[in-house]
Amino acid sequence: MGYFQKAVQIMYFPSHFKKHQAVTLPAPYLNGQDRGVLRPMPYGLRTVGNVGCGPISLYNAMIYLGMKPDFPRILRYMELTSTPLFAAFGTFPFSMGYCLRHFGVQNRMTRSRKKLAAAQCGILAFWTKRPIFSGGHFVFYVKQENGTYIVYNRYSNVEHPVEYNSLDEVMRPHCLIVGYVIR
């Protein structure tokens, strides 16, 4: 067995899955990752409260599409496939499309703000302040009929979705890392 395989086997965290299954999630959407039952849930070397915005955005997308997501399975899958350095820095932004497809969500990756703004719903990965030197964050958004956007898990300490007039209000200029248009 190679070094990488041993490291993955050691860092698999099988106890995390059992802990995740014991948690009763708020319904239907997840917001405020650093509040309530989400905060202490383990995710790699960290917790969902610290770096769990990626799995939360995938979960919220599946809820919106009428699917029945299994949050413990989402966490386990992403913990193993999408977290550089065992989630020390959260979820790798460019792996979200792969994770969405794994769970049956059709998507298209883009860096075009115009395409993201025109989409009915999607996931954004963006820098919270200065590109590269600040933390990143994932959110799931839905475009309303009146042209506004409902953004889920926008802030880690707010337990409800936030409404914006445009996606530009959600993130600063030049801070978009990547977006995923969900079909």
> Which residue type does 135 have?
G
- For all residues of the chain together, what is the average pLDDT? 91
Residues 141-179 have pLDDT tens digits of: 999 999 999 999 999 999 999 999 999 999 988 899 999
d(CA 122, CA 159): 20
Please state the pTM of the whole predicted model: 0.91
DSSP 70: -
d(CA 94, CA 112): 15
Higher pLDDT, residue 174 or 5: 174
DSSP 14: H
Is the model's pLDDT at 25 over the cut of 80? yes
87 phi and psi, to 5 degrees?
70, 20
The CA-atom distances, in angstroms, between 97 and each of 9, 13, 65, 117, 123 are 24, 24, 16, 18, 9
The pLDDT-based confidence of 7 (bands split at 50, 70, 90) is: low
Share of residues in the chain with pLDDT > 70 (%):
93
Is the model's pLDDT at 45 over the cut of 70? yes
The per-residue pLDDT for 61 is 98
Tell me how far the alpha carbon of residue 54 is from its chain's centroid.
2
Higher pLDDT, residue 85 or 74: 74
Residue environment code for 140-161, b if the CB has 16+ CB neighbours within 10 A, otherwise e: bbbbeeeeebbbbbbbbeebeb
CA torsion through residues 22, 51, 114, 166, sign = positive
